[in-house]
Amino acid sequence: MTLSGTNTYIIAAPGADTAVIVDPGFATGAAEHADAVSKVLGGRAVDAILITHHHLDHTGALPTFLKRFDAPVRAADEHWCRDALPLVNGEVLTGGGTRIRAVATPGHTSDSMSFFIPADNAAPHPGGTVLTGDTILGEGTTMLDYPDGTLAQYFESLATLAALEGAGRQVAVLPAHGPTLASVARTAQEYREHRLERVDQVSELITGQPPILTPVDWESVVVHDLSMRLYPNLPDVVRGPAMKTLAATLDYVLHNSKD
């Protein structure tokens, strides 16, 4: 589910004597990971630790990082904040000698936050870079942690990320899992098209079926049946996440299919 693991990013402008850390990562191996981060910091003080969202493959190492780097922690969800206020959509943070814009991108989870760095604009991405957490991955597509995350939110977030690019600008994606991608707008469009294909598939599968009158439950018989019909050979380890995403898609079909 995490591809090659969770990417921890260190943000610092050339010559800066401070830095910002994004996503500490897993609890397992946290001490060794903090050692590796410390080497990359190269003696820089840490202005802040930023969290893209609450999943434990991003936050599990936070206690270790707090002890090691003694920095305030900021996230959209106040539960994860330490000595700092929750992040606000559109807020511009200063740290590591540069400016970082917090961009709310819910859908994968309700508290998903991306971080846009316009000044990271060296070729081949003259529009800067954006750290997308799990909203956009370096490979494949992400799951929607329904009901916390919804497909309606996710479509809005993809549009928000695509809008970071403009005429003559190309914004690279720095995902929490997998390699860097060249264009956030192009990838967001690919993600949108993929989700719309799933919307059409689910709409077709439930056509002529009895109406679903109760709230969608990702563990329901209906969702399990849909997952088996769409993904008959899916390994059990990813069946649960796939069912959550299907539940999000079904909810969207039932309530937003005319949008």
| Residue 44: inside a domain | yes
| Residue 250: inside a domain | no
C-alpha–C-alpha distance, residues 6 and 28, integer Å? 12
3-state secondary structure (DSSP) of residue 139: coil
Domain that holds residue 2: 1-87
3-state class percentages of the chain: helix first, strand second, coil last, to nearest 5: 35, 15, 45
3-state secondary structure (DSSP) of residue 9: strand
C-alpha–C-alpha distance, residues 52 and 177, integer Å? 12
Overall average pLDDT of the 188-216 stretch: 91
Higher per-residue pLDDT: 97 or 209: 97
C-alpha–C-alpha distance, residues 65 and 24, integer Å? 7
pLDDT in the model for residue 124:
84
- For the stretch 30-60, pLDDT in tens is 999 999 999 999 999 999 999 999 999 999 9
Overall average pLDDT of the 232-254 stretch: 92
Overall average pLDDT of the 163-185 stretch: 93
Q: How many domains does the chain have?
A: 1
- For the stretch 106-141, pLDDT in tens is 999 999 999 999 999 988 889 999 999 999 999 989
| Residue 46: inside a domain | yes
Q: What is the pTM of this model?
A: 0.95
| Residue 6: inside a domain | yes
C-alpha–C-alpha distance, residues 252 and 199, integer Å? 8
Positive or negative CA dihedral for 101, 104, 107, 111?
positive
pLDDT in the model for residue 2:
60
pLDDT in the model for residue 259:
43
- At residue 236 the predicted structure's pLDDT band, cuts being 50, 70 and 90, is confident
Read off the tokens for 165: 């690019």
CA distance to 224, 225, 236, per residue, from 232 (Å): 11, 10, 11
Read off the tokens for 229: 């019909």
User: Across the chain, what does the average pLDDT equal?
Assistant: 94
Q: What angle do CA 3, 170, 109 make, to 5 degrees?
A: 40
Residue 103's DSSP bridge partners are: 114
- At residue 214 the predicted structure's pLDDT band, cuts being 50, 70 and 90, is confident
CATH number (domain holding residue 60): 3.60.15.10
Strand blocks (E) in the chain:
9-11, 18-22, 45-50, 73-74, 92-95, 98-104, 113-117, 129-133, 172-175
User: Is the pLDDT at 62 greater than 70, yes or no?
Assistant: yes
| Residue 7: inside a domain | yes
- Which residue from 9, 6, 71, 7 is spatially nearest to 40, judged by alpha carbons? 9
Q: What angle do CA 128, 134, 139 make, to 5 degrees?
A: 80
| Residue 205: inside a domain | no
| Residue 162: inside a domain | no
| Residue 152: inside a domain | no
